[in-house]
Structure 1
Amino acid sequence: MDLNWTYYNPDTPAERVLLVGPSLGGNAAHQWTRVAAELIDDARVVFVDLPGTGLGSVWDDADEPTLDAVADGIARVAAEVRADLGADLPVYFAGLSISGATALHLARDHADEFSGVVVVASAATVGEPARWLERADQVEATGTQQLVEETTKRWFTPMFRAQQPAVVDVIMEGLSVADDHSYAQLCRALAAHDVRDDLPYITLPVVMVAGERDTSTPIANVELVAETVQRGELHVVPEAAHQVTVCRPADVARIIRGLFTRGQTSKVVSESAD
């Protein structure tokens, strides 16, 4: 899988790379720019587009609809960035929602290529397979536009929607213009996503970030990952729904910066309340 990618701050002297990926039907630049601005001196931030969103090409049906395929594409981006920079810099990946789920596939299958992953608003399983398959068929038939109203309510708290309607509109536009078939294939990939049995064998640092008011991702599922991987860490961001990177970018940036600086430490499971 060939994925489109773009530097946010190519001229920074930072000696590490952070790849970031969007939610299902999301635009990586829109969802991660405020976090990237906070980390402008800490990492060379690279926005990675999923198929059919942002500047990404539509889903190539030569690729099976699995998150393994997406993870392979992200690993390829990491190799391309290293080759472009001409340096063997440590590379991290942070993903929101479906990209967070994909981060666990990277931690399992591409541990030698990454120094750590950050899973935002996701877990080792996401939702029910039958519901994802049903949504895939629905979107193929009627498009993503009909998902916008209900998704807005899950992605943002009522207070955030009232205070920052323009920000919400920008994020939801990404969903409304997403390629329908690509979105459907990603739904099918989520239906097959289940790495619970693999968690005890993941040795890469895994930082879990949950929104306190995220109804899409049960906190018990997030805790399971943090407690089961060998080097897990959990942070709960207050007053954030599913779009944690949009609603609380400074908190997310602080958590990611902690991953950069903590080094080789033993497993820590903690809850952030600030």
Structure 2
Amino acid sequence: MTSLDLSTHSLHYRIDGDADGKPWLTFCNSLGTDLHMWDEQAEALSSDFRILRYDLRGHGRSTSPRSPYALSDLGRDAIALFDSLGIAQTHFCGLSIGGLTGQWLGVHASERFNKIIVAATAAKIGTAESWATRIDAVRQKGIDSLTASTTERWFSPAFHVAEPNRVNRILESFAATSVDGYVGCCTALADADLRSEIGQIDKPLLAISGADDPVCPPADLRAIAAAVKHGGHVSLPGRHIINIESAKAFNDAIKAFFYQ
């Protein structure tokens, strides 16, 4: 693991897989998590891809520049990382705000990508009012005040009971997220609306939904798949953090899409 120093902050990243001509695959995390949310994908896919994972600004071990952030800031962070590592083209997979970042990249930097996966996301997530409420709660009461509601949104009760250790690991990363980083990304989400732009995405795109996701329900992912030029959609059992709740099916969907 290492970091890329930018003018206002540093991005922490990790590379898995051998440098033997395998295609690059980049993973971008969701709000309130870190690059370890992709551990099961990295383990399953590093024999087929050279995998790049990084912590969004203000998350994990990446530092927090002064907020507010814009979605374009998050997209340009990814491009700066690719440039630093000499990555001309990569596949991309992002979840929630990571998926929104993937949509921005597909619109504004299409030439840097082969295929794109966006999971548990939407072209517009929530409303400005709902994000303002979230920001106020975090500033007044701290990140921990959101743990119970976040657990309910992210994982089904059955999964929480069956896999408490996996749930608790990701909740630990949520609790460790900096307030500045969380609030900064919330401001990016409050302003982001790509509904009129994603029709410009010309690379093959797969939208993956959690069948019971209360944050970004399957209709949001179907809308993305229908709007882009070459889109498809698959729904898997689970809620918002679908790459963990349905990890094997998620990994199988990635392989099928990238090798079809």
Kindly indicate whether the alpha-carbon contact (under 8 Å) linking 1:145 and 1:177 is maintained by their aligned counterparts in 2: no
Shift in Å at residue 64 of structure 1?
5.1
Q: CA separation in 2, counterparts of 1:12 and 1:152?
A: 37
Shift in Å at residue 162 of structure 1?
0.4
Counterpart position of 1:42: 48
Counterpart position of 2:79: 75
TM-score of the two chains, using structure 2 as the length reference: 0.92
Alignment of 1:255-270 (within 5 A): 255-262=253-260
Residue-by-residue CA offset, 1:66-117 (whole Å, 9 max, x unaligned): 111101101111222226xxxx5x4111111110111100100010111121
Cα RMSD after superposing both structures: 1.5
Alignment of 1:162-173 (within 5 A): 162-173=161-172
| Long gaps (5+) in structure 2 | 1-5
Kindly indicate whether the alpha-carbon contact (under 8 Å) linking 1:155 and 1:242 is maintained by their aligned counterparts in 2: yes
Shift in Å at residue 137 of structure 1?
2.5
SS of the counterpart of 1:4?
strand
Q: CA separation in 2, counterparts of 1:235 and 1:220?
A: 11
Counterpart position of 2:108: 109
- Matched residue count: 252
Residue-by-residue CA offset, 1:189-243 (whole Å, 9 max, x unaligned): 0011110101222112211000111111122221111001001110111x21111
Alignment of 1:207-222 (within 5 A): 207-222=206-221
The one-letter amino acid paired with 1:4 is H
Residue-by-residue CA offset, 1:156-202 (whole Å, 9 max, x unaligned): 11111001101111100111110001100100100111101012221
Kindly indicate whether the alpha-carbon contact (under 8 Å) linking 2:120 and 2:217 is maintained by their aligned counterparts in 1: no
Alignment of 1:94-243 (within 5 A): 94-237=93-236, 239-243=237-241
Residue-by-residue CA offset, 1:2-22 (whole Å, 9 max, x unaligned): 52211133x253521111111
Counterpart position of 1:270: none
Q: CA separation in 2, counterparts of 1:251 and 1:12?
A: 26
The one-letter amino acid paired with 1:26 is T
Q: Could you say which structure has the higher strand fraction?
A: 2
| Long gaps (5+) in structure 1 | 263-274
What is the identity percentage for the equivalent residue pairs of Structure 1 and Structure 2?
A: 26
The one-letter amino acid paired with 1:180 is V
Q: CA separation in 2, counterparts of 1:8 and 1:240?
A: 27
Moved over 4 A (4+): none
